[in-house]
Amino acid sequence: MRHIISILLENESGALSRVAGLFSARGYNIESLTVAPTDDASLSRMTLVTSGTDEIIEQISKQLNKLVDVVKLVDLTEAPHIERELMLIKVEAVAESREEVKRLVDIFRGRIIDVTDTSYTVEITGNGDKLDAFVQSLSSISILEVVRSGLMGISRGEKALG
């Protein structure tokens, strides 16, 4: 099963490689990983999407917790939570496809953020499924480039990691 593990870690050089190294050394897979400093500049927040049996996920959590740089950790998938991902996608936009793309962007509540004579660059957020669906809806359009941020997540309710 897929799990989203949210980690607060010391914002120190090497902290990211400790997490990444742990996954490769122990043969766990990483589907996506995002990381950036938080409002407290000494901390980074990392969201890591992985999958495995319950036993493997338990080991992953324990091994992550064991890293000296890891301050706190939560498996978001254990409780109600919100997932978001940002995608920037550059598509060919000529002749009648210009209208078609614009229509699809509206339906998916994205935004066109850059325009040339022959292309649009679209920004769209949502959970992974929504972004996949958007890409699929563009099947007749020529896609020039796709950039996805990887998933971020936060728990619902007032409980906070921090």
Locate tokens 């959970």: which residue?
127
First to last CA, the chain: 26
**Residue 4: closest CA among 50, 56, 53, 72:** 50
Residues of this chain that interact with other proteins (CB under 8 A) are 9-10, 13-14, 17-18, 21, 25, 55, 58-59, 62-63, 65-66, 68-71
- Paired with 122 in beta bridges are 89, 112
CB of 43 to other proteins, least distance (A): 9
Cβ 63 to other proteins, closest distance in Å? 5
**Between 24 and 29, CB nearer to other proteins:** 24
**Minimum CB distance to other proteins smaller for 33 or for 101:** 33
Nearer to other proteins, 58 or 129 (CB): 58
Distance CA 12, CA 97 (A): 47
